Structures are given as structure tokens and as C-alpha cells.
Amino acid sequence: MKKILLALLMVVSLNLRGTVIPARSVQMDPQPAETLPTVTVLPDPFQPEETGTEETGEETEREPEDPARTVEPSRPMVALTFDDGPHPVYTDQLLDILEENGAVATFFEVGQKLSSAPEAVRRAEKLGCEIGSHSNRHANLGKLDPEALEVDLAAADVAFEEVLGTVPTLLRPPYGATSKALKTDSGYSIVTWSVDPQDWKLRDVEQVVAHVQGIGDLDGQVILLHSIYESSVEATRTLVPWLQEQGYQLVTVSELITLRFGDTLEPNRLYNYDYFRCPPALSEAVR
Ligand SMILES: [Zn+2]
């Protein structure tokens, strides 16, 4: 379908990494269809404006329908995020869980660790997960001078380019630490989180699960987890199906920002706790 193709090109040109439409079939809608109309993962914000050439094209030629995962802007969404990987064992275990449940997540990977599990990172991308930068060596970027900051982020980009052939547009600074230079000159969309179960500190499956389950309304939230602890993998094993049972669609950070918040991903912009904690009312998110 021409429109879809154009929309896809627009998505790519928006540097959303083209991960919005993984070529796989996912059924993750446990809810009654009559109340929840299916919406393609390419919503109106991505539809190209009508142009002269577009209008002449009847939609007679349909490309083979991609069995795309669908995201419904009218329904609640949560973004799971995993930092500090990749891990040679746990990243794949997390991907197994996501794949089994038809879910995706965002992985903020450390540049200098990429070579320890390049296949897992490529697999994540193939599954429709999003890959963001978590700096090259997990330094506190808020304390680096502008030159050192640039060197670190550029080194990470080189590592990502080697493994994925592209560089990330999202950056999660380690410890959530930012600086003026980072926010104004790095060129990344800077994403922190809104729910922190402290899995890195607790290393306890039950406590991490209980923290997330005790939050209440999780719609629009970005949950911070780490891909380097077995306990975090096991917490994810419980949380993914639980979140879906609660009616949440598990989406990438970019999908959350564009589809749930109806917003755009811009370079040198910070998407933080204050941003995610107040999603627009669902009726507003739907056109
Ligand atoms: Zn980290």
C-alpha cells in the first residue's frame, strides 16, 4: 500500500530507526474487539499529507500485508526499558520472554559492551525492540566536559554502527545525569524513566515485581530495569504477562512518545519523569 510505504519512509526519515513495524505477527490484544478498534502501528501522525501525486494513485496496488504488530493509540501503553547491557546471557533471555509474549522493549546499551553480545543486540532489533545508547563506558555524563562528552558519545556511536549499521537517536544517560551540553548539543533525544523499581540494588524478584504492581496506573510510564541481573530477567518473566493482563500494550519508548503522547521525537530534547508521568487523557490521544 503506497500510503503505508510513504509513511514508513517518513518514519525512517524521522530517525525512528524503522523499528515501528517489525515483520512479525503479534496478537497481544486480549480485549473485546468491539470496543477496541484495531489501529495500524502507523497511525495518523505518520500519514503523509495528501499531495498531488498521492491523490492520483488509487489504492489498487496493495503490497503484501506485513503481519505487523499493532499498537492501538486508544489503549494504555507501557514502555519497558533495560539498561547496562548487552549481556551475553540475560539479554537473550529477556528477548525470549518478550518474543513469547509478543512484546517489545527498549534496550539502552553500553557502547563498549556491544561486542560482548552483538548477536543479541541484532536480534533485539529484528524483534522490533528499540536500541538506544547508554554512553560508551557508563560514565556520569553530567560531569564530563563538552569535549569528553563528545568523545564518549561518538565512541558509542561507532560501536553501534559496527553492530547495527546505524547509530541510535535515543540516549539514556547513566544515572539519569544530564548537563547543559548534553541537553543542547548531543543531538540525541534524551530519555530517562518514570518508574524505578531499583532492580539493580534490590536484586530481588518479588520486591521488583511488587514495586511495579504497586504503582497503580502505569499508562504512559517508562519502567527502568537492567539487563545484567538474573533477578531482573525473572522479574520481567512475571511482569510482561502481568502488564498485558492489566490491558497495557508493551511498546518501545519511541512508540510511547509518538503513539501515546502524540508527540515527536526531537534531538536535544529531554523526555524525563515529568514528561512521562502525565500522559494526555486517552480520549485526547485518539484522533
Ligand atoms: Zn546504567
pLDDT at 199: 98
Average pLDDT rounded to a whole number, residues 230-254: 98
Average pLDDT rounded to a whole number, residues 69-73: 93
Q: Is 83 a catalytic site residue?
A: yes
Catalytic residue among 83, 92, 157, 219: 83
If one compares 68 and 90, the residue with the highest pLDDT of the two is 90
pLDDT at 41: 53
Identity of the residue numbered 133: S
Dist. CA 192–CA 236, nearest whole Å: 19
The DSSP symbol for 233 reads: H
pLDDT at 27: 38
The three cell numbers locating residue 192: 530517562
Place of cell 503484501: 64
pLDDT at 213: 98
Give the Å distance between the CA of 209 and the centre of ligand 1.
Answer: 20
Dist. CA 118–CA 74, nearest whole Å: 36
Residues forming beta bridges with residue 77, ordered by sequence position: 249
Give the Å distance between the CA of 168 and the centre of ligand 1.
Answer: 16
Dist. CA 219–CA 208, nearest whole Å: 18
* CATH no., domain 77-285: 3.20.20.370
If one compares 15 and 71, the residue with the highest pLDDT of the two is 71
Give the Å distance between the CA of 172 and the centre of ligand 1.
Answer: 8
Contacts of 113 (CB under 8 A, 6+ apart): 84, 85, 86, 87
Give the pLDDT band (50/70/90) at residue 55: very low
Average pLDDT rounded to a whole number, residues 252-279: 97
Q: Is 134 a catalytic site residue?
A: no
**Spatial contact of 199 and 229, defined as CB atoms under 8 Å apart:** yes
pLDDT at 283: 73
pTM: 0.79
If one compares 45 and 263, the residue with the highest pLDDT of the two is 263
Average pLDDT rounded to a whole number, residues 48-65: 45
Average pLDDT rounded to a whole number, residues 241-268: 97
Q: Residues 227-231: contacts with CB within 8 Å, 24+ apart? A: 227/82, 227/83, 227/84, 227/85, 227/86, 227/87, 227/90, 227/91, 227/94, 227/107, 228/84, 228/85, 228/87, 228/90, 229/90, 229/199, 229/200, 229/203, 230/90, 231/199, 231/202, 231/203, 231/204, 231/205
Share of the chain above pLDDT 90, in %: 74
Give the Å distance between the CA of 72 and the centre of ligand 1.
Answer: 30
**Is residue 285 pLDDT above 90, yes or no?**
no
pLDDT at 46: 40
Dist. CA 222–CA 250, nearest whole Å: 10
What does the domain layout of the chain look like in residue ranges?
2-56, 77-285
**Is residue 61 pLDDT above 90, yes or no?**
no
Dist. CA 223–CA 103, nearest whole Å: 14
pLDDT at 75: 96
Give the Å distance between the CA of 83 and the centre of ligand 1.
Answer: 5
The DSSP symbol for 165 reads: S
Catalytic residue among 44, 87, 226, 274: 226
pLDDT averaged over every residue in the chain: 83
pLDDT at 18: 35
pLDDT at 57: 42
**Spatial contact of 241 and 212, defined as CB atoms under 8 Å apart:** no
Average pLDDT rounded to a whole number, residues 245-261: 98
pLDDT at 17: 38
**Is residue 10 pLDDT above 70, yes or no?**
no
Give the Å distance between the CA of 174 and the centre of ligand 1.
Answer: 4
pLDDT at 170: 98
Average pLDDT rounded to a whole number, residues 177-192: 95
The three cell numbers locating residue 236: 520481567
Average pLDDT rounded to a whole number, residues 263-276: 97
Give the Å distance between the CA of 218 and the centre of ligand 1.
Answer: 22
If one compares 241 and 43, the residue with the highest pLDDT of the two is 241
Give the Å distance between the CA of 48 and the centre of ligand 1.
Answer: 37
pLDDT at 25: 37
Quick: pLDDT tens for 83-138: 999 999 999 999 999 999 999 999 999 999 999 999 999 999 999 999 999 999 99
Cβ-in-10-Å burial (0-12, 13-18, 19+) of 247 comes to: middle
pLDDT at 67: 54
